Structure 1
Amino acid sequence: MKRILVTGASGYIGGRLIPMLLDRGYSVRCLARDPKKLEGRPWTHQVEIVAGDVLDPESLRRALDGCAVAYYLVHAMMAGERSFVDRDRTAASNFAEAAEQVGLERIIYLGGLGRRADHLSDHLASRQEVGDILRGGAVPVTELRAAMIIGSGSASFEMMRSLVKRLPVMICPKWVRTRNQPIAVRDVLGYLVGCLEQPKTAYGIFDIGGPDVLTYKDMMIRYAAMQGLRRRIIVVPVLTPRLSAYWINLVTPIPASLAFPLVEGLRAEVICHNNRIRDLVPIPLTPFGEAVQRAMDKVHENNVSTRWSNAALPSRAALLRRPQFDPDRFPLRDVQRVEAETSSSVLFDRVQRIGGSTGYYYGNFLWWIRGAMDRIVGGVGLRRGRRDPVEIYIGDALDFWRVEDFVPGHRLLLHAEMRVPGDAWLEFRVEPRESQRSVLTQTAYFKPSGVLGRLYWYACLPAHLFIFSGMAQSIVRSAEASSDHSEAGHRQEGSASLTGSPGVPMVREPSADDVPAGGVSR
């Protein structure tokens, strides 16, 4: 079978496309800036992963060499920056040139729906320009242009779901009356695979959408009815896309930097003006209501394979900064070391559940306040949650953290993506001891950015003393209670003594500059 290159393998669409290609017997190669971030997926051992970047032409040539077809599934979405347009142009030019040099047979590109005459948003216009640049090369290109994608974990769907869930009465801008042709994520994937297997789609530009044409208001009302909710929507002409984005930032998990391009894209009508793809790739299309129900079923089953937050933050900082963890770079830190009367596997199970619906085991209200403060200043806050309540992949978003390393049973390393004047990391290590005992080492690292960063750390010092030590001890208590429950079967006396026990053994490990950094010696 043909070897297929998939770019954007850690993204929302790419992560779902790869297993479909594998099921059909294709040999798949994945392009990743950091190959480590594809570790742990169910399909990792079945694919070839190569390091590369669409902004690095030489790495693209290496990745494309030997492939027959490539999926181009990368695109920047950064509110408030014009530079993303230039980066998209450069990336598309690099890809088209490298594809031509290695003799690629075809490029399949997923872009955005809409007519340029309708004054598309910068992001939709950029997506279509990327298609033009790819077609400017010698390699045949198939471009699919999609509207709003309905699926568990998609940014558009989660934005709509959160608005309807949290607001009984919504004051909305006039763009909620703009027509849209939403498409189920399974249908997008069906078209992507179908085009690969249908040579007649080469050199074509195809609009793809579902069977229903709806306004955004229609979609919210229908979703509310399906959830048994009564919602009132009041449309006013004065709300701008930017004001709407800030409101979405406060109410939904979607940060303002991503909400703004999503809202801007909804101002222009995005419906299919040609349906040629239906004859060439005749897949059954999913009605809006069925697509919503499938998405909600996945959410309720905790079976969301990819999520909009899989990708890195849509900001200049996220592109320019390649986080590298080096403990020697962090002058400020808090170390908590707690011994546990349970196995390392049980203890680490508690660690890897942190965040999301589980919370932080201690001082959750304070964590909520910190998340709310972050949302107010345009950060991601805590509402982003996590893709799965137990399962973790490197690269997953976890509230306002990003998973940078994950060694099952041993280590979890989180990098802060909240707004903070410095660089912050949180590391958990679990080590086994004799006789079914273990030890948790929890370390918060901080590298301040100038005087403001140091002021921030010291101002938070009282909270750190309270939260970090309490969190480490509470994780251990939870693990011990879980272990006792499984071993003794509802042994209520042991459970009661554990949950009320103030005397968990704890060893405080001081380090350089650690006394002012926070923590309590015991």
Structure 2
Amino acid sequence: MMDLETTERKPVIALTGASGYIGNNLLKKLEKQADIIALSRNGDNYENTENVTWRSADLFSLKDAEKALEGADYAVYLVHSMMPSAKLTQAKFEDMDLILADNFAQAAKKNGVKQIIYLSGIIPPDADELSRHLKSRLEVEKVLSSYGVPVTTVRAGLIVGPKGSSFPIVKKLVKRLPMMLLPKWTRQKTHPIALQDVLGALKGSIGNKKLSGESIDVGGPEVMTYREMMIDTAEVMGKKRKLVNVPFMTVNLSRLWVSVTTGTPKEMVYPLIESLIHPMVANPENMDKDLSYGKTTFKEAAKSALEQEEQEQQEKKKSSTSNSKTSSNISDVRSVQRVLLPEGKNAEWAASRYINWLEDFGSPLIQTSIDHRNNANIYLLGKKPLLKLTYAHERSHEKRALYYITGGAFTKPEEKPGRGRLEFRQIPNSQECIIAIHEYKPSLPWFIYTLTQAKFHIWVMYLFKRHLLKIIKQNHQQPRLITDS
């Protein structure tokens, strides 16, 4: 384990999500012993200090990710994309998480980062089928490891702190419901751990050669059910609650009930509740004697979290300014779909195939053209281009084809082309390909766009996916998924 206080020079640690719940607390724990590159989508809103340099970075952009990690010795990855990242997001969180992780891993490799530390969830060893959330967490871990940078994964269950996801949901249920009907998942075993204990494990993993390329489970001193946590939380809050076990509430019904009751967005609640079919208990075989065993009891952690939340609310009332993220009025679009490629084909092939297929599919209304530099235009009735796509030669290769959206009737006119782009990206060690539109600004009025062009795009991508599957079937191929790697 590296002692951050006794190294010859201060290490430089790039910290993603530095303005978020876990990231900001970890920043405070590290800033006296290391130089921190604090990464946030709104990094320009924060002031640099002696040991902390803020950088704005949109990790959906590989170029941004490369700039973000310049000069870093180590990188802590705390990114999760459950919530929408644009005014209109047409994407599964799993696919967005994959893009983010792939960009980060490539950028870490390019900048000579020595180690990536990744906070993930506990993976049940005997599960027949993982939930979407846990499957995505495992997929991200594999992608982060795909470019040769050693990854240390810290796997935690429910983290008890004033913010985050799971514990605030427990707190809101206890606060708002005098009587709770508890479905079967509330009797599932989980392994809560205090925020401070998780921060200690993350800090202790940085530069820890023993854990290079390894994953560890972490947990607090108690294994509990959600029912037991609700009872303890009610006691800490000084509330009396009646809890009734019920056998008839399905996971699908439970996730809707929790979302409505707590006011938590379904994008966050649904994947979390789906994961509760699994016991989320740290495996002793995967635990490190120095870092895995949290000392803080659930009641102590819950009390501390509630006190900290109260203190933060009081400070917020007194303060007239805030460095928190500001909402954006930009009408931008992110749309991400995942497809299977025929064996031996790559992202470069998929891009060319898509543009040619689009004309075959849309004929005679839609025509396309590709010039000698791979720039592409999409036309309506062969006249004015609907979209102009400029091929980015310096950012493209056989595993990635990138086009900037630089004009056309369907693109919002700007003095200079913006960051709108279309990319085809092959997932490492697989025949899967991500097709993504980022930061696209449509010219149509927003409500018309969402009802017409946006829906048409999803339909077209569905048909292109079927087209590729038809080719695979005709070739009698068995595509390799990322899980085979």
Same fold, TM-score > 0.5, yes or no:
yes
User: Where does 1:251-270 land on structure 2 (aligned, <5 Å)?
Assistant: 251-270=261-280
Pairwise CA distance, 1:30 = 1.9
Distance 1:178 1:198 in 2: 33
Distance 1:452 1:68 in 2: 44
Pairwise CA distance, 1:282 = 7.1
1:115 alignment partner AA: P
Q: Quick one: which of 102, 127, 135 aligns to 2:111?
A: 102
Does the CA contact (< 8 Å) of 1:248 and 1:255 recur in 2?
no
Distance 1:280 1:67 in 2: 26
Residue 147 of structure 2 corresponds to residue 219 of structure 1: no
SS in 2 for 1:279: coil
Q: Quick one: which of 74, 96, 112 aligns to 1:87?
A: 96
Distance 2:294 2:190 in 1: 19
Give CA-to-partner distance per residue, 1:364-405, whole Å, 9 cap, x none.
Answer: xxxxxxxxxxxxxxxxxxxxxxx8323343435xxxxx566x
Residue 40 of structure 2 corresponds to residue 26 of structure 1: no
Pairwise CA distance, 1:224 = 1.5
User: Where does 1:26-105 land on structure 2 (aligned, <5 Å)?
Assistant: 26-37=34-45, 39=46, 46-78=51-83, 83-105=92-114
CA gap of 1:283–1:393, structure 2 versus 1, over 3 A, is farther
Residue 182 of structure 2 corresponds to residue 172 of structure 1: yes
Pairwise CA distance, 1:65 = 2.2
Structure 1 gaps, min length 5 = 305-356, 358-386, 397-401, 405-413, 417-447, 454-522
Match of 1:390 in 2: 318
1:29 alignment partner AA: I
Does the CA contact (< 8 Å) of 1:184 and 1:288 recur in 2?
yes
Distance 2:162 2:271 in 1: 20
Q: Quick one: which of 141, 144, 164 aligns to 2:154?
A: 144
Does the CA contact (< 8 Å) of 2:217 and 2:292 recur in 1?
no
Distance 2:317 2:252 in 1: 33
Distance 1:403 1:53 in 2: 15
Does the CA contact (< 8 Å) of 2:218 and 2:293 recur in 1?
no
Residue 201 of structure 2 corresponds to residue 191 of structure 1: yes
2:308 alignment partner AA: K
Distance 2:290 2:22 in 1: 22
Distance 1:20 1:92 in 2: 24
The 4+ residue runs of structure 1 with deviation greater than 6 A are none
Does the CA contact (< 8 Å) of 1:201 and 1:280 recur in 2?
no
User: Where does 1:341-360 land on structure 2 (aligned, <5 Å)?
Assistant: none
User: Where does 1:324-339 land on structure 2 (aligned, <5 Å)?
Assistant: none
2:227 alignment partner AA: K
Residue 259 of structure 2 corresponds to residue 279 of structure 1: no
CA gap of 1:28–1:94, structure 2 versus 1, over 3 A, is same
SS in 1 for 2:139: helix
SS in 1 for 2:317: coil
Give CA-to-partner distance per residue, 1:404-440, whole Å, 9 cap, x none.
Answer: 6xxxxxxxxx999xxxxxxxxxxxxxxxxxxxxxxxx
User: Where does 1:486-501 land on structure 2 (aligned, <5 Å)?
Assistant: none
Q: Quick one: which of 178, 191, 205 aligns to 2:215?
A: 205
Does the CA contact (< 8 Å) of 2:218 and 2:291 recur in 1?
no
Match of 2:247 in 1: 237
RMSD (CA atoms)? 3.0
Does the CA contact (< 8 Å) of 2:218 and 2:282 recur in 1?
yes
Pairwise CA distance, 1:214 = 0.3
Distance 2:100 2:213 in 1: 20
Pairwise CA distance, 1:289 = 1.1
Distance 1:100 1:451 in 2: 43
CA gap of 1:450–1:78, structure 2 versus 1, over 3 A, is closer
User: Where does 1:298-447 land on structure 2 (aligned, <5 Å)?
Assistant: 298-300=308-310, 302-303=311-312, 388-391=316-319, 392-396=321-325, 402=326
Pairwise CA distance, 1:219 = 0.5
SS in 1 for 2:239: coil
Match of 1:113 in 2: 122
SS in 2 for 1:109: strand
1:234 alignment partner AA: V
Give the count of matched residue pairs: 323
Does the CA contact (< 8 Å) of 1:113 and 1:146 recur in 2?
yes
Structure 2 gaps, min length 5 = 1-9, 332-444, 451-485
Distance 2:292 2:166 in 1: 26
Does the CA contact (< 8 Å) of 2:194 and 2:294 recur in 1?
no
SS in 2 for 1:136: coil
CA gap of 1:143–1:227, structure 2 versus 1, over 3 A, is same
1:388 alignment partner AA: K
SS in 2 for 1:164: helix
Pairwise CA distance, 1:49 = 1.9
Distance 1:196 1:217 in 2: 35
Pairwise CA distance, 1:176 = 0.3
Pairwise CA distance, 1:46 = 4.0
1:31 alignment partner AA: L
Distance 2:177 2:215 in 1: 39
Distance 1:15 1:128 in 2: 24
Does the CA contact (< 8 Å) of 2:215 and 2:286 recur in 1?
no
1:227 alignment partner AA: M
Does the CA contact (< 8 Å) of 1:394 and 1:403 recur in 2?
no
User: Where does 1:288-307 land on structure 2 (aligned, <5 Å)?
Assistant: 288-300=298-310, 302-303=311-312
Give CA-to-partner distance per residue, 1:250-302, whole Å, 9 cap, x none.
Answer: 322422222212211222110011365442437752111111111122123x2
Distance 2:81 2:186 in 1: 24
Pairwise CA distance, 1:26 = 0.4
Residue 16 of structure 2 corresponds to residue 11 of structure 1: no
Distance 1:89 1:452 in 2: 27
Distance 1:131 1:283 in 2: 22
Give CA-to-partner distance per residue, 1:102-150, whole Å, 9 cap, x none.
Answer: 2110000001112264232211210111011112221111001110110
Does the CA contact (< 8 Å) of 1:393 and 1:403 recur in 2?
no
Pairwise CA distance, 1:452 = 13
